[in-house]
Amino acid sequence: MIDKELIKNISTKPGVYFWKDKDDNIIYVGKAKNLKARMKQYFDPNMKNSYKTQKMLEETSSFETFVFETETEALIFERSCIAKYKPKCNVVLPTQATFPYICVEKNKNNLQISLKNKYKKNPNAIYYGPLVKGKEYKELIKYLIHLLKSKDGLIINKMSEEEVNNAFLKAKKILKFDTDFKNQLQNKIHFWVENMEYLLAKQYKQIYELIYNKQNQQNLVLKTSKDLDVFGFYVTKDKIFISILHYRAANLINKSDFWFNLNSLLEDFISHFIEEYYAKNFIPEHIILPSEYQNLFINEELKKHLVFKNNKIYQNMLDIAYENAKNDLENKIAKLEKDNQLEQTIEKLSKILEHDANKFVIFDNSFMANTNEIVGAAFLYENGKLLKNHSRSFILKKEKGNEADLYYMYQNAYKFLKNNSDLVNIIFVDGGIYQIKSIERALFELEINKPVFGLIKNNKHSFATLINDQNQQIEINDFDVFNFLTKIQFQVDKYAKNWFNKRHFKSIVNNSLENIEGIGKKTINKLLEHFLTYENIYLASQDELEKIVSKKIAKKIKQLT
């Protein structure tokens, strides 16, 4: 822990500070309007709102400061440093905290209307969301395509630049989903009911309920069509619970919940969280915050969206957000404690390996003799959690010979590490020293230096031994660490095998169908258009098959099973 006396000579100007550990690694990056005052707060007993803050200070052996003339310069430098160094004590949004958006994107000759899982800033795109997960948005997307891209009842897939621009402007109005749009939908529902076209009426009703169902659940009447995000914070001694209510055109369309251990001073944490959140999500016209956070040190782009008005409507919204943040606390704390336990397991694993295990990848392959399907899986973990969006699977090139399996491991590692090496600190491989050497070959060719460890199975095909790149066994006396390594090996092994089996099954069925007299590629494509997958063809009844092919062909297909 550093001596607080060292802070006496720090500048009172705006700036950025690094807390560093004994190995000179940056563990936290902070910004301040007044460097000296902010850094002194960490040593004020009344300001230490979390044992995590104290733990960070105990881990801090030195610091570094950067002084700037303006607050804006400090903000920009802080963001670039967090992106560059990825300090472990700064706010990191959970990877699962993503929601779908409706996206209307224009290019020179077309307008794309789709559902996207991530918001991405783009001047040529309009987003509506974040939407509730698990809902069916297909009918709404189809309706938007009809409104924006149809002419005389036909969908235009190639548009002039003028048509694209006009449709894009129209989309901006439509995606407000205002009263006119609402009335239009209601009229369509009534029209199709009166004409006894109940299927069409149902489709429009589904669209209506998808957009406006939340409105029936809110007692708050908003007189604004502006997009709003309303923040609620509930803070305990060492934890913070955050709820964001997303209002779009006066409708509450979704809610996002987060919970964290407090790693830093409360105001620092909240300003970091807001910046991190809106770096990845749509920025609404107004971001409504409780008035006690008016002095947050936050970037200018976001600051112009912040609202602290203390009128009755906004105060009611803030109260609702606060109640949501406080709601279901026992369950949220249980999840946080589980995360804390996982964090401790990763810390213990790091000590055992003598390397930082916060970010790692594990490789595994799956194949079978005398088949052409070889697949590789690379599972990426951060803070002990699987990052599905960053994990990869590869179709590998077939190789002959006794060492083919080692070549497959090399291919797998090379393909992943070529573009993703900066995402990992260490590498695990499902296998022994020869598999480790295969990974090291890829590292050598890519001029990357990362430690590699092998997870060796026993005769029951479950994890038994951990080895290093010298083929030395690493002793594991901790039950949680052993179970964690067992789990990650099982996860990647299961995925690789399942994917191989799916591809192999598809290959068998495809080849079998082509070998049936009377079936060519045209018939196979016809079957796939109807049944979508080879597996569905394989599982279909003869009656179902006869709807697409002749009775004779259907009978031959069923004989395959």
CA R_g for the chain: 29
* Distance (Å, whole) CA 27 – CA 56: 8
**Amino acid letter, 545:** L
- For the segment 173-198, what is each residue's pLDDT rounded down to a tens digit? 888 887 888 889 899 999 989 988 88
**Residue 133's pLDDT band (cuts 50, 70, 90):** low
Q: What SS3 class is residue 110?
A: coil
Show Cβ contacts of residue 332 under 8 Å, excluding neighbours closer than 6 positions.
241, 257, 259
- Residue 51's pLDDT is 59
Which backbone phi and psi does 452 adopt, to 5 degrees?
-120, 135
- For the segment 207-240, what is each residue's pLDDT rounded down to a tens digit? 888 877 644 444 444 556 688 999 999 998 788 9
- For the domain spanning 228-327, the CATH number is 3.30.420
Q: List residues bridging with 229 in a β-sheet.
A: 246, 287
What CATH class has 4-85? Answer: alpha beta
Domains 342-504 and 516-560 in one fold: no
**Beta strands per DSSP E along 40-173:** 62-67, 101-106, 111-116, 125-128, 150-151, 154-155
- Residue 258's pLDDT is 92
Which backbone phi and psi does 480 adopt, to 5 degrees?
-65, -40
Can you give the residue ranges of every domain in the chain?
Answer: 4-85, 94-176, 228-327, 342-504, 516-560
**Residue 134's pLDDT band (cuts 50, 70, 90):** low
**Amino acid letter, 369:** A
- For the segment 237-260, what is each residue's pLDDT rounded down to a tens digit? 788 999 999 988 777 888 899 988
- Residue 321's pLDDT is 92
In degrees, rounded to 5, the angle at the alpha carbon of residue 267 between the alpha carbons of residues 262 and 271 is 95
Tell me what the pLDDT averaged over the chain comes to: 86
* Distance (Å, whole) CA 37 – CA 14: 10
- CATH architecture entry for 516-560: Orthogonal Bundle (1.10)
Question: Which CATH superfamily includes the segment(s) 342-504?
Answer: UvrC, RNAse H endonuclease domain (3.30.420.340)
- For the segment 141-173, what is each residue's pLDDT rounded down to a tens digit? 988 998 888 887 788 888 888 989 999 999 988
- For the segment 352-401, what is each residue's pLDDT rounded down to a tens digit? 999 999 999 999 988 765 566 788 899 999 989 999 888 888 888 877 76
Q: With both helix axes pointing from N to C terminus, report the angle between 198-212 and 179-194 in degrees, rounded to the nearest 10.
A: 160
Strands, sheet with 239-248, edge to edge from the N-terminal-most edge strand: 251-261, 239-248, 228-235, 286-288, 306-307
CA distances from 35 to 17, 31, 82, 295, 318 (A): 8, 8, 17, 15, 31
User: Are 473 and 466 contacting, i.e. CB atoms less than 8 angstroms apart?
Assistant: yes
CA distances from 184 to 53, 187, 190 (A): 54, 5, 10
> What percentage of the chain carries pLDDT values higher than 70?
91
Q: List residues bridging with 453 in a β-sheet.
A: 428
**Amino acid letter, 388:** K
Q: For tokens 């090399």, what's the residue?
A: 410
Q: Please choose, from the candidates 499, 505, 466, 489, the residue with its C-alpha nearest in 3D space to the C-alpha of residue 392.
A: 499
CA distances from 94 to 79, 83, 261, 280, 399 (A): 18, 16, 13, 12, 40
**Residue 300's pLDDT band (cuts 50, 70, 90):** confident
- For the segment 407-462, what is each residue's pLDDT rounded down to a tens digit? 989 999 999 999 999 999 999 999 999 999 999 999 999 999 999 999 999 988 88
- Residue 505's pLDDT is 63
Query: Residue 473 is inside which H or E element, if any?
Result: strand 473-474
Q: Please choose, from the candidates 381, 388, 392, the residue with its C-alpha nearest in 3D space to the C-alpha of residue 357.
A: 381
- Residue 399's pLDDT is 76
Q: Please choose, from the candidates 101, 339, 360, 363, the residue with its C-alpha nearest in 3D space to the C-alpha of residue 239.
A: 339
- For the segment 310-362, what is each residue's pLDDT rounded down to a tens digit? 778 888 889 999 999 998 888 888 888 888 899 899 999 999 999 999 999 99
H helix intervals, 298-375: 300-303, 312-326, 329-353
For residue 362, what are its two tokens? 């594990």
- Residue 48's pLDDT is 54
- Residue 216's pLDDT is 42
